[in-house]
Amino acid sequence: MSAKGQEDPGEDLTSRVGAESPGSDMKRAAAKKLIERYFYQLTDGCGNPQCDNQHCASSGKVTNLTPNQAAAQAIQLFSQEARLCDGTQPNKVARTTIEPGPASLAKSLPVKSVNPTCSVEGKPVPYLTEPKLLDIIQQCKSEESYSLLIRTLGEVFSSAEALSRSFQKSAENDSPLAALLDRAPVDLLGPPRDLSKEAVRSLQGEDKEEDSSDPSPTVPHPDDTSVDLPAVRRAFTALWSLPGEAFESALVHALVTLADNIELDLRVFGIVPSDSTDSLLNVFLIVFEIPVLGSSEYLELALHMLCKAASCLPLTAQAKLARVWARHSKPRLQALLQALQQLITVKVIGGSFTRDYCVQDADTITAPTKVMKILYYASMLAGELDGPELRRDEEGDAGELEKTSTQRTSTQALQDPLAVELKICSLDARKPFVPFNDFYNEPLSDAIEMDKDFAYYKSEQPKKFSFMNYAFILTPATKTLGLYYDNRIRMYSERRMSFLQTVVGQPTNPYLRLKVRRDHLIDDALVELEMVAMENPTDLKKQLVVEFEGEQGVDEGGVSKEFFQLVVEEIFNPDYGMFTLQDDTQTTWFNPTSFESDAQFTLIGVVLGLAIYNNVILDVRFPMVVYRKLLGRKGAFADLEDWSPTLYRSLKELLDYTGEDMADTFMQTFRVGYKDVFGYELFHELREDGDQIYVMQSNKREFVDLYADFLLNRSVERQFKAFRRGFQMVTDESPLALLFRPEEVEQLVCGSKNFDFAELEAATEYEGGYTVDSEAVRNFWRVAHALPPESQRRLLQFTTGSDRVPVGGLSRLKMVIARHGPDSDRLPIAHTCFNVLLLPDYGTIEKLQDRLLKAINYSKGFGML
């Protein structure tokens, strides 16, 4: 027992402060904040060069203090209520000082809870903090020698263990100041000043990060990280303020060594413990913050190796890396994506690829692609996401389709494992932080041989890398090729099966043949398709062959194009009654009061699926919400902006209104009106007794969501469900949902909106004696470029059978102009199946223009061959 008035050195401090009141605890915490400000005033100063405070480093009156001396003096100044400069604020990471001279980094204080003697050699593990690095930089500048900096970077950045312990948020708890404050007696820390509650709260929240989104700093968020990323960025900014040649070569070699060792460990040991995984995540969080990864030696050596190591991380670790990036590294995502894109582009352009060694075999390309996928999902998580309530009930739809177990397995196999781990997909991203288009890599897309990539995609063992599993990096035109190969292989498979059945005495047609009359096109087509769908739905996977009754011709693709065009013109006409036309957008929507049966809408879905399956572009204008719904998402309020901009703006004004007089201002209840096919006004109550419930501030969001759900989902539920069922009859086993997002499916159905005849001219080939310099060819393009847009579309339709631009633009159309004899009065002829224009060698441009205009204006039906 100690004597009265004397302090027992062994007495537990917590036993003395445990009985203090909560108010006392708050004041104690506030006092510690003030002491910290005195500490940093003594060590760092207030930043005012004219400061005259004798207790401030900026005044020049404070002698060089060790951290322990500064901490003790800070407590003394606090008790004396000494002057405190206004500009003094505690740093985010506690400051420690490296002694002058070539001191080893091992002499620095260890991070809290880290064993300083756990390295192989029995030496302390080095680590870095922001203050340490700044001190080293300052010392190197003063000595005009960067040997200490080079040695330090080499030690820390070549070791996963050392780097994982660097820039830790907990480092501030191990400073001399923190240690002294924790050991200080209660009466010493008792605030001599009369601190108000407001002042206490203000002091306690002084150093809270402005960008922190963690609602409770004492409870760690599952997506949080122990790395102080703002400190890392400030430290790197200071580091790269130095001449690059002073340290960069050493840093690059350290990073290569680091990545090599991590990759070796992950490949040898496979799954690592969770604590080791967190340490590795710390490493990658730090190195991917390096601001110059996309330039010079870093791009050629370090970035590639780091990507190889990161791609070996376990799936759970990749998912956590994506979540941490989304939560803490939003400003870094775009720059990191650009670095990865530069690496891939450089390796694609500089690579020597053959059929035996293609881009899929080069880990310098595949490794950064794998890291880019983590970044892809991080961008979605960091952006605007739809809730899970907008996902359709896929099990119910699957039951209606009566899928086989093989089909269900195929559908499940299309899901990306990382997306499953993160519980998201691209359809959930309403607005990603980085636009989806920024992930396209055109040089890579052009270099990929999609037939080989598709073979890799379908391979079972050994599993090979296929860019179809990383479709975000491919342009829509390249992805269309992947879908084309899948469709064609299914068609050839159906032909082989038909041949085998014929051999064994059960002859079947190897094609999906439709024989229709022009005057009864819709009736004939729908009846035949309905019979196929009922008797043998797998026949829909066969290649489509159309025959118009009473007309000669073999369908090599051109007749089918005309068939689809005529069907679309008639069935999507509002007068037909199945679809309506939105006034302000001129888009097609389902008629909620249509009298047509479900079977009719199912068959329209089949037609749309067949068009995609047979690589035919349609003149259809659906709002984007249709394609989102086809891929498995319900319509929501945000979709109204494209569906009906006028209505969307009105509802947005209602949501943005802040007055309490909403009922009197808007006079809106939970009863909404709409019109039937005859123009009669109908009403629907969004809630029970909706006409008695006015929209108020408390329920306006509910009203908007219910209204959007009614317009986009419930009012057309029967029609759309049947339509989607027909669409999936054709596309259910294809990789459509894996490869394409809703806006890309729209391109697939409707073609590109970029109508540029210069692209068509650059891609056109010449036969029969014509060359690019032939007089008739030059006259043809002069006439074609001078035509108004509508006539240009008719020319495109005359030549190719469709006036729509394929995905990727007109450069994807391989049109051929062939010489069709000498000058004559004959009109040009087109083989639409092969995109061939037979053009006589007209003597003058006037004659060519006259014959060409007559051909394209009077070519309805089989003026085309």
Q: Note the pLDDT tens digit of each residue in 488-533.
A: 887 777 777 777 777 766 667 778 888 888 888 888 888 888 888 8
Which segment of 366-370, 445-449, 792-796 scores lowest on mean pLDDT? 792-796
Q: Give 743-767 as a 3 state SS string.
A: HHHHHHHHCECCCCHHHHHHHCEEE
What is the arithmetic mean of pLDDT over 132-156?
91
The domain 511-631+719-750: what is its CATH number? 3.90.1750.10
Let me know how long the chain is: 865
Specify the 3-state DSSP secondary structure of 815.
Answer: coil
| 567/858: higher pLDDT | 567
Looking at residue 299, its pLDDT comes to 87
Identity (one letter) of the amino acid at 440?
Y
Q: Which CATH superfamily is domain 757-857 in?
A: Hect, E3 ligase catalytic domain (3.30.2410.10)
Q: What are phi and psi of 685, to 5 degrees?
A: -95, 120
Structure-token pair, residue 49:
């060069």
> Residue 164: pLDDT band by 50, 70, 90 thresholds?
very high
Tell me, what's the pLDDT at 112? 32
Determine the pLDDT at residue 411.
42
d(CA 254, CA 271): 25
- Does residue 245 surpass a pLDDT of 90? no
- pLDDT of the residue at 544: 84
Q: What is the token pair recorded at 150?
A: 């080079």
Worst-scoring range by mean pLDDT, 65-69, 584-588, 735-739, 768-772? 65-69
What pLDDT is recorded for position 812? 73
State the amino acid at position 314 in one-letter form. Answer: P
Quote the pLDDT of residue 222: 67
pLDDT at 863 over 60: no
Q: With bands split at pLDDT 50, 70 and 90, how would you rate the model's confidence at 664?
A: confident
CB-CB contact of 136 with 166 (8 Å): no
SS3 382: helix
Confidence of residue 87 (pLDDT cuts 50, 70, 90): low
Provide the whole-model pTM.
0.74
Greatest mean pLDDT among 122-131, 272-281, 402-411 lies in 122-131
Q: Specify which residues 682 forms β-bridges with.
A: 674
Q: What is the pLDDT of residue 328?
A: 92
| Res 563: pLDDT | 84
How many Å apart are CA 257 and CA 204, to the nearest integer? 43
Q: What is the mean pLDDT of residues 98-106?
A: 33
**Higher-scoring residue by pLDDT: 124, 168:** 168
Count Cβ atoms below 10 Å from residue 704 Cβ, excluding itself: 19
| Token pair listed for 727 | 């669409």
pLDDT in tens, 326-343: 999 998 999 999 999 999
From its phi and psi, is residue 408 left (phi > 0), alpha (psi between -120 and 50) or beta?
alpha
Question: What residues does each domain of the chain span?
Answer: 16-95+175-204, 105-173+222-375, 511-631+719-750, 638-712, 757-857
Per-residue pLDDT tens over the stretch 727-751? 998 888 888 989 999 999 998 888 8
Q: What pLDDT sits at residue 677?
A: 65
Amino acid at the residue 758:
A
Give the mean pLDDT of 94-115. Answer: 33
The proportion of the chain whose per-residue pLDDT surpasses 70, expressed as a percent, equals 79
Give pLDDT tens digits for 612-642.
888 888 888 899 999 999 999 999 999 999 9
Tell me the helices (H) and strands (E) count for the chain, helix number first: 38, 12
168/170 Cα distance (integer angstroms): 5
DSSP 41-63: HHHT--S-TT---TTSGGGT-SP
pLDDT at residue 404 is higher than 50: no
What does the mean pLDDT of the chain come to? Answer: 79
Q: Which amino acid is at 835?
A: N
Q: What is residue 321's predicted lDDT score, i.e. its pLDDT?
A: 95
Secondary structure (DSSP) of 843-861 = SSHHHHHHHHHHHHHS-TT
| CA-based nearest residue to 434, from 289, 336, 315, 294 | 336
Q: Quick check: 306 pLDDT over 90?
A: yes
Residue 415 has pLDDT above 50, yes or no: yes
At residue 220, the pLDDT reads 57
3-state SS of 280-336? Answer: HHHHHHHHCCCCCCCCHHHHHHHHHHHHHHHCCCCHHHHHHHHHHHHHHCHHHHHHH
Query: Alpha-carbon torsion 263, 470, 416, 454, what sign?
Result: negative
Instruction: State the pLDDT at residue 199.
Output: 45
pLDDT tops 60 at residue 209 = no
- Closest by Cα among 303, 314, 312, 379 to 345: 303
How confident is residue 699, by pLDDT bands cut at 50, 70 and 90? very high
Given a cut of 60, whether residue 816 has pLDDT beyond it is yes
Say if residue 795 is exposed, middle or buried (CB neighbours under 10 Å; 0-12, 13-18, 19+). Answer: buried
Query: Which helix H or strand E contains 80, and what residues bound it?
Result: none
What would be the CATH architecture of the domain defined by 638-712?
2-Layer Sandwich (3.30)
Is the model's pLDDT at 373 over the cut of 90?
yes
Catalytic residue IDs = 833
Q: 310 and 302 in contact (C-beta within 8 Å)?
A: no
Fill in the DSSP letter of residue 50.
T
Cα four-point dihedral sign 114, 118, 123, 125: negative
Q: What is the predicted pLDDT for the residue at 710?
A: 95
For residues 784 and 848, the answer to whether their CB atoms sit within 8 Å is: no
Q: By mean pLDDT, which of 170-179, 509-518, 813-822 is the weakest?
A: 170-179
Query: Which segment of 350-359, 485-494, 695-704, 817-826 scores lowest on mean pLDDT?
Result: 485-494
What is the pLDDT, as a whole number, of residue 556?
Answer: 57
**Residue 13, pLDDT above cutoff 50:** no
Q: Which of 105-109, 111-115, 566-570, 753-757 has the highest mean pLDDT?
A: 566-570
Secondary structure, 3-state, 209-257: CCCCCCCCCCCCCCCCCCECHHHHHHHHHHHCCCCHHHCHHHHHHHHHH
d(CA 137, CA 156): 15
**What mean pLDDT do residues 830-838 have?**
82
Between residues 634 and 534, the one the model is more confident about: 634
- Report whether pLDDT(712) > 90: yes
Model confidence at 645, pLDDT cuts 50, 70, 90, reads: very high
Q: What is the pLDDT of residue 32?
A: 73
Total Cβ atoms within 10 A of residue 853: 16
pLDDT in tens, 476-490: 989 998 888 888 887
- Residue scoring higher pLDDT (73 or 862): 73
Between these two residues, 326 and 800, which has the higher pLDDT value?
A: 326
Predicted confidence band at 210 (pLDDT cuts at 50, 70, 90)?
very low
Top mean pLDDT of 395-409, 587-601, 696-710, 808-822 is at 696-710
Could you tell me the two tokens for 25? 């605890």
pLDDT at 558: 67
